[in-house]
Amino acid sequence: MKFIIHPLLREKIGISGDVPLPNDRFKYELEHLYQPMFEGRLDLTYMENLLKGDSAWYMDSLNEDTTSSLQEFASANGIDESSAIFETIKETFPAKFESVLNIKQRCDDFRLDLEDLVDNTSGVNVVAKSGKIGVIGHSVYYRVYNAKP
């Protein structure tokens, strides 16, 4: 069995403990801590390009308004995006940093990625048709993913 790490299944950003690790540290942990735990069966395909970029790997999963305001705040204060998130959380707590609407968009995007993965990947397709595919993520993600409009 292989385990695909998908960036859209990350925890919601609500408090400072939810802010994902910086690219270099997360990449190191995936490769040197988690890959051995999973006996080399982690598929990091979705993460590789995101972790190479200058921007925090999770920025692509935030809506455009949030991303723009964070980047402006970070630039104006000479800090990185993660630090800008920490500062925003401090200033706005107990309000949640990441909106339910943003999580809903991540769910919709992941649903399309999952359908594409199952339909267009021969090995996964065989497994999926046999009913043996699992998706592991955070509880808030599934509450939104399974919600009825």
| Whole-structure pTM value | 0.77
Q: What DSSP character marks residue 18?
A: G
Question: What is the predicted pLDDT for the residue at 76?
Answer: 94
Q: Please give the span between the terminal C-alpha atoms of the chain, in angstroms, as a whole number.
A: 34
Q: Is 3 helix (H, G, I), strand (E, B) or coil?
A: strand
Task: Report the pLDDT value the prediction gives residue 69, as an integer from 0 to 100.
Answer: 87
Per-residue model confidence as pLDDT tens digits over 21-57: 888 999 999 999 999 999 998 888 888 888 988 888 8
Domain that holds residue 21: 3-145
| Domain count across the chain | 1
Residues 119 and 68: their CA atoms lie apart, in Å, by: 34
Which among 47, 2, 46, 40 is positioned nearest to 21, based on CA atoms?
A: 47
**88 forms bridges with which residues in the sheet?**
none
Q: Which of 101, 92, 72, 83 is nearest to 12 (CA)?
A: 101
Tokens in use for 49? 């390009």
Q: Which residues of the chain have pLDDT under 50?
A: none
